[in-house]
């Protein structure tokens, strides 16, 4: 089993570890059905000599499909800094997308308050590093931006 490390914000690292747990604690195993799986697979490169691995999240490398040619994890097992930044931004977007979707469902279908939906998101996902206030503020900014009345053109 080959792994690669990347650095994420602590709450995103915790989210990823809880969302895609592996058999070993602290390890992340991405399912082949996720966009992140294919992003990591496409971003892998040959490791340069002397390249050090550091980060707070350890991803198990995807198993190559029989159609992927010579992309074997024992040889192609390095993520360049720009690829790590891209993966971090995709994880950030996925976290907030799931949070907003969950909160919308809890508020409009189940009738929860916004604060109740934020605390429910934290407890359902088992997150300890996420902050209710940060989730609440982000949700309110998102809602103001996307649910604002549209200006009519005359």
pLDDT tens-digit map of 14-57: 999 999 998 888 899 998 888 998 898 888 888 888 888 889 99
Sign of the Cα pseudo-torsion (86, 76, 3, 33, in order): positive
**CB distance 18 to 127 below 8 Å:** yes
DSSP state of 63: P
Q: Which two tokens stand for residue 30?
A: 């991405």
pLDDT-derived band at 140, boundaries 50, 70, 90? very high
Biggest alpha carbon–alpha carbon distance for the chain? 63
Q: pTM, whole model, 2 decimals? A: 0.86
pLDDT at 76: 78
Among residues 58, 62, 6, the alpha carbon closest in space to that of 32 is found at 62
From the CB of residue 64, how many other CB atoms can be counted at a distance below 10 Å? 15
| Residue 66, pLDDT above cutoff 60 | no
φ and ψ at residue 79, rounded to 5 degrees: -110, 125
Mean of pLDDT over the chain? 87
Of the candidates 46, 29, 110, 112, which has an alpha carbon nearest to the alpha carbon of residue 80? 46
């Amino acid at each position: 089993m080959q792994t690669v490390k990347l650095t994420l914000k602590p709450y995103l690292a915790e989210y990823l570890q809880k969302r895609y747990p592996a058999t070993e604690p602290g390890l992340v195993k991405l399912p082949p059905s996720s966009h992140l799986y294919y992003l990591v697979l496409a971003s892998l490169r040959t490791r340069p000599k002397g390249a050090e691995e550091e980060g707070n999240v350890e991803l198990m490398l995807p198993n190559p499909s029989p159609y992927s040619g010579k992309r074997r994890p024992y040889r192609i097992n390095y993520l360049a800094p720009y690829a790590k930044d891209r993966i971090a931004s995709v994880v950030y977007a996925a976290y907030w997308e799931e949070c907003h979707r969950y909160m919308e469902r809890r508020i409009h279908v189940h009738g929860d308050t916004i604060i109740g939906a934020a605390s429910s998101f934290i407890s359902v996902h088992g997150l300890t590093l996420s902050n209710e206030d940060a989730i609440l503020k982000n949700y309110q900014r998102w809602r103001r931006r996307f649910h604002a009345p549209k200006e009519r053109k005359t």
